[in-house]
Structure 1
Amino acid sequence: MVDAPTVLGWDGWRALDEESSARHLAEALEALVAAGTLADQPVEPLARPLSGAMDEAALWIARGGAPGRGTGARPAPGGPAGPGLTPARRAAGGGRRAAGGGS
């Protein structure tokens, strides 16, 4: 992951990302919109920053970062994608599992 942009070139690396993980992310977001979990909206404007954030997180981990250790990070109010949830899903707790709720 760290060497990919150097070895493949920036354009080659971006093309591979678009063909694989970015495409899968967009498909997952489309499924969430179709299921009514996310409000009806174009997924491209949501997929781009999410894909970039996931790439950055992967690079950070690859360079020795450890999730949850010493970052001081806290979950955002409303949880992940909270503002994008439909009003019904938000009222129902945003689809989050209860504490100790198993799978």
Structure 2
Amino acid sequence: MNTAEEVSPDEIESARKLGARNEAEVLRAVARMTQAHAATCLGVSASTVSRTLEDLPRWAQMLAALGLQVAPIGSMVVDSEDLRSLKRMALRYLEADLQQLPGQG
């Protein structure tokens, strides 16, 4: 029995791009903290971290295929619908505020 799903070329390209961003984000974090620091936090050697990073492209792509992205602690990830709602509310506020300015309307 074939359990493969149909995946559009756009979905594949989107996952590839997100995978590349995931990988880059992890590599930036490792560069900031160093492999030695990560190793100490994990209780392993720096060479173990280095070997683990060899699988990073595959894991970054896996996260992307699952619709997940890597974001630094302190970042705020907002659902696109929530962001659209916030923009609509801000626009309504700004339009109302502009109507109350002296010399307007």
TM-score bucket (shorter structure): 0.3 to 0.5
Larger RCO (CA within 8 A; separation ≥ 6): 2
TM-score by length of 2: 0.32
TM-score by length of 1: 0.32
- The structure with more helix, counted as a fraction of residues: 2
Rg larger in 1 or in 2?
Answer: 2
